[in-house]
Amino acid sequence: MIYSMTGYAAVSEELGLGTLSMEIRSVNHRYLDVQFRLPDEFRSFEPGMRELVVARLTRGKVECRLGFQKTPSSEVSLQLNSPLLEQLVELERSVRTRLPGAPGLTVSDVVRWPGMIEAEALSLEQLREQTQTLMERALEEFSAARAREGEKLKALLLDRVALIEAWVEKVKPRIPQLVAAYQERLAARVKDALEDVAAALDEDRLRQELVMYASKVDVEEELSRLIAHLAETRRILARGGVAGKRLDFLMQELNREANTLGSKSVDIDVSQASVELKVLIEQMREQVQNIE
């Protein structure tokens, strides 16, 4: 399949203590550029997540955003921080030996003590595994989205290829006739300009020079190369996979031939064909920039 570099996917998973969410988006880029937006507590997960992305993608500016929304405390199992409670009891006993009349700690004082109440927590390793699994799911959906967009790009490119081929087929049969007519017109003009010394002209040499000059306006070779490049474009699109750079090179070659076709044109129809070809090739080039 042909893959677009533009894509988006978002997945989430409910955990006991909250919701883990992953969002991946990308735009076109010359190389693979991956950026992560992670909560600080998940920062150590980035190397493993990056490995998963690099294994699946080759080009594009990719942003991966991981979020964790904690469940409200009323739905979470709470427990006392026993070590901290023991320290607090020992401190109170020490204070009372010196200040016997001091009021004792109440239950309210204890539960409000910073760090005394703890929520049940997932282990870091468990979170790492669940994050990796969520990343794999997100990449599956992301790749599917890029594939769908890639198929649209492929259809558009094949449509433009067909239009270019139609223009080439329209122009190609006329080239020999156009070259011959141009050669005759050129010969007539030369003879008219030199009619006073016509007798001194070497007819064979004049004919050779006219043939050489007329060959400079013969676009048969350019049209043949256009057809070859279009065939290669079809082959690459049919094969699929990572094709963006190859297609970009072909767009440059197609544009080169279209420009040469226009510069050598001696016929209004050929000139019009050159303009139309350049418009179609530019449309293809813009879309090729989005292909992985």
Burial of residue 50 (number of CB atoms within 10 Å: 0-12, 13-18, 19+) = middle
**Residue 8: helix, strand or coil by DSSP?**
strand
193: pLDDT strictly greater than 60: no
Compute the mean pLDDT over every residue in the chain, rounded to the nearest whole number.
83
Considering the chain, what percentage of its residues have pLDDT values greater than 90?
A: 48
Residues 6+ apart with CB under 8 A from 89: none
Residues 6+ apart with CB under 8 A from 201: 194
For the cut 60, the answer to whether the pLDDT of residue 215 exceeds it is no
What is residue 61's predicted lDDT score, i.e. its pLDDT? Answer: 95
What stretch of H or E contains 84? Answer: helix 82-98
Task: Look at residue 21 and tell me whether its pLDDT is greater than 90.
Answer: yes
pLDDT at 2 over 80: yes
pLDDT recorded at residue 93:
85
Strand order in the sheet with 32-37: 7-14, 18-27, 60-70, 32-37
Does the pLDDT value for residue 279 go beyond 50?
A: yes
Mean pLDDT, residues 9-38 taken together: 92
Q: Which DSSP category does 144 fall into?
A: H
- Per-residue pLDDT at 182: 62
Q: Which of 37-51, 186-200, 216-230 tops mean pLDDT?
A: 37-51
Task: Show Cβ contacts of residue 137 under 8 Å, excluding neighbours closer than 6 positions.
Answer: 11, 22
Predicted confidence (pLDDT) at residue 208 exceeds the cutoff of 70:
no
Q: Band of the pLDDT at 202, cuts 50, 70, 90?
A: low
Residues contacting residue 43 through CB under 8 Å, at least 6 positions apart: none
Q: If you search the block for the tokens 């064909």, which residue do you land on?
A: 273
pLDDT at 178: 61
199 pLDDT more than 50: no
pLDDT for 74 equals 44
Dist. CA 62–CA 131, nearest whole Å: 18
Q: Is the dihedral of CA 159, 160, 161, 165 positive or negative?
A: positive
Q: Which CATH architecture has domain 149-288?
A: Up-down Bundle (1.20)
Say which CATH architecture domain 7-73+125-147 belongs to.
Answer: 2-Layer Sandwich (3.30)
Give the residue from 228, 231, 247, 241 showing the smallest Cα distance to 286: 247
Segment 232-274, tens digit of pLDDT: 999 999 999 999 999 999 999 999 999 988 877 667 777 888 8
Dihedral sign from CA coordinates of 121, 122, 127, 133:
negative
Cβ atoms of 266 and 178 within 8 Å: the answer is yes
* pTM of this structure: 0.71
> What local confidence, expressed as pLDDT, does residue 262 receive?
81
Say yes or no to pLDDT of 209 above 90. Answer: no
H/E segment holding residue 19: strand 18-27
Place of tokens 């992560």: 36
- pLDDT for the residue 108: 83
pLDDT per position as a tens digit, 130-163: 999 999 999 999 999 999 999 999 999 999 999 9
Per residue in 46-92, pLDDT tens? 999 999 999 999 999 999 999 988 776 545 566 777 888 888 888 88
pLDDT exceeding 70 applies to what percent of the chain?
Answer: 79
